[in-house]
Amino acid sequence: MEATTAVPGGQSRQGRSMDDDGFTPVHQDLIRHLREVPGHARPPLRHAAFAMSGVEPASLAALTEKVALAPTTVTDGDLGVVLDAGFTEDQLFELVVCAAVGQAARQYEAGLDALAAAQRTGR
């Protein structure tokens, strides 16, 4: 599948349509699947990891924040603390993916907002 890059006017560079939020339908399906389709981690916890808000316990909150904001600093020890808190490897995988994709979505939205602002101001 080809990567798409958003451009003003709601079209991707390959001409695929994008919804008002700037995400292609495939990306929207990914987000919906991560947050809503049954998995090993409970959907409310996956939602929280995706949003980086309200994640409990504190060890999991620290890990998801690190994954989102400083992924190159995540260590085996960070993962071990969460596993020791009672999470399974499958749950941990799902929650880490939610945190990473959530951060990527926020960065993408911020980029679209910056482009729109620049377009409005003529910069």
Alpha-carbon distance of 57 to 95, in angstroms, equals 13
Summarised one tens digit per residue, pLDDT across range 21-30 is 566 888 888 8
Among residues 82, 81, 102, 104, the alpha carbon closest in space to that of 91 is found at 82
Alpha-carbon distance of 69 to 79, in angstroms, equals 16
User: How many alpha carbons fall within 13 Å on the CB side of residue 3?
Assistant: 1
Instruction: Report pLDDT for 9.
Output: 37
18, pLDDT greater than 70: no
Among residues 80, 33, 76, 40, the alpha carbon closest in space to that of 59 is found at 80
- Give the number of other Cβ atoms within 10 Å of residue 21's Cβ: 12
Q: pLDDT band for 14, please (50, 70, 90 cuts).
A: very low
8, pLDDT greater than 50: no
15, pLDDT greater than 80: no
Mean pLDDT of 93-109: 94
Instruction: Report pLDDT for 30.
Output: 87
Instruction: Report pLDDT for 70.
Output: 97
Mean pLDDT (the chain) is 84
Give domain limits for the chain: 23-121
- Give the number of other Cβ atoms within 10 Å of residue 108's Cβ: 15
